[in-house]
Amino acid sequence: MPTRALIVTLGAVLSAASAQPGAAQDGGPTVTPLFSTGTSIAGEALHYPTGAPAQVTAEIVTLTPGARTVVHRHGVPMFAYILDGEITVDYGDRGKRTYRKGDAFMEAMAVAHFGADAGSGPVRILVVYIGAQGLKDTIPVQ
């Protein structure tokens, strides 16, 4: 499915869900909207890669207490949802933010950053990259 069609489909699903949050009809599912935005956490307008077939990648990233990522940026939009624990992300001159279990956000793309486990236990993050074939999801910054 092309990226644009995927986004339109997801938008329609989220719109329907927000019209009746939590409402289960005729034994159907209960839907609880988590997040909706057009910008990253750093205020960047989201833009989707073009010129290649769409590719969505989902991962669970786990950091142990005291562990940190390398400084990096993202080549494609990245949605994050904190499953367990907490992480502090350092965005350099844009400051630091701590995310905790249940927080959802679109990560910064062009702003270099790194994350460090800020809690006493592991942090687990559901990460979804909305990209295209051949593009890097995460790009280390020297």
CA-CA distance, 102 to 82, in Å (whole number)? 5
pTM greater than the 0.85 cutoff: no
Closest CA to 115 of 134, 136, 138: 138
Q: Check if the beta carbon of residue 106 is closer than 8 Å to that of residue 41.
A: yes
Closest CA to 16 of 1, 2, 36: 36
CA-CA distance, 40 to 26, in Å (whole number)? 37
Over 70: is that where the pLDDT of 5 sits?
Answer: no
Q: What is the mean pLDDT of residues 27-55?
A: 90
Which letter does DSSP use for residue 68 in this model?
B
Q: What is the mean pLDDT of residues 36-65?
A: 93
Give per-residue pLDDT as tens, 86-121. Answer: 999 999 999 999 999 999 999 999 999 999 998 899
